[in-house]
Structure 1
């Protein structure tokens, strides 16, 4: 039986910024795969492309923060974190940054929640690393609805970049 890859478009996703800091380098990127995987203790996983600076920084720091973007996020904000590299561009300079209890930077603007995690496992899943973290801090940042990947495509007319876990050529 053949695989109809368009069936993957029926999966529900959100948009998140995953960030970390190690040795003075702040890194962050937009991902569409973040999920709570256990309730006690609360653990979540995020998938980050191996080539992203953010993946390297998370592995070095042993911590990461995840912000769930809300529907106030616009394309310049998403592009700031999603279409530039942290090696040559300070993604946190344009927006007011905060620091989580784990020391990971995050931007509360355009976010409805923040989760700070201590890295407990890294799984190599091919093109991406699946980072599993224990949530040590969680905060609601706004009452705005979360930004879904469907809303990003239909309303904001966003594109799927090649490093996204759901990218199809």
Structure 2
């Protein structure tokens, strides 16, 4: 039977920042797959791309943190942890963090709660690793509404990074303008993460978004 990918859009997710710390350093990334799986004992799971630097640190240390993002979380914060790699970026330097009882940093700004979990088991899913952990510490941080994945897309206008579990490659769309129309149009580039617009014909290869910091590859060409 055929698989209608639109069916997956009816599933509900939250948006979280997962962090970890080990001998190799600290790392963090955005996931939408953090979920409670049992109540006694309290266990949670995440599905995380095996190529993420955060995955390696979790498997090395055997523990991880998950901070639940608030609806008020900025695209800058989401972009910092969701569209950069901890392998070459210190995502924590401009972020308000606290440390749990295991000494792991967790994001303490624009979040509503955090959970510390000890890894109890893993399952190789091909591109991703399913990690199940037992919660050893949990704390509510604010009374704000937690951000859902739907809110992130529909209200924040956010995009899905290629390594995310729910990523779908966009359909290729090519628009060819008549010569006289092309001459009259003004071209700009819009950041698909935070919506910032650069009014230039072309972006330099080393361009970074001044708002959320993502690179040229996450800008889309628009005509005004």
Which band: TM-score by shorter chain? over 0.9
Which structure has the bigger radius of gyration? 2
Which SS does the other structure have where 1:55 is aligned? helix
Which SS does the other structure have where 1:77 is aligned? helix
**Unpaired segments ≥5 residues, structure 1:** none
- RMSD value, Cα: 0.8
Q: How many residues align?
A: 169
Matches of 2:102 and 2:46, distance apart in 1: 16
Offset of residue 103 of structure 1: 2.4
Runs of 4+ more than 4 Å apart: none
Instruction: Determine if contact 2:118/2:135 at 8 Å carries over to the other structure.
Output: yes
TM (normalized to structure 1)? 0.98
Match of 1:36 in 2: 36
Instruction: Determine if contact 2:58/2:64 at 8 Å carries over to the other structure.
Output: yes
Matches of 1:102 and 1:135, distance apart in 2: 12
Instruction: Determine if contact 1:67/1:113 at 8 Å carries over to the other structure.
Output: yes
Instruction: Determine if contact 1:102/1:117 at 8 Å carries over to the other structure.
Output: no
Which SS does the other structure have where 1:18 is aligned? strand
Matches within 5 A, 1:79-90: 79-90=79-90
Q: Does 1:93 align with 2:89?
A: no
Matches of 1:124 and 1:133, distance apart in 2: 15
Match of 1:107 in 2: 107
Match of 1:147 in 2: 147
Matches within 5 A, 1:1-169: 1-23=1-23, 25-169=25-169
Offset of residue 151 of structure 1: 0.5
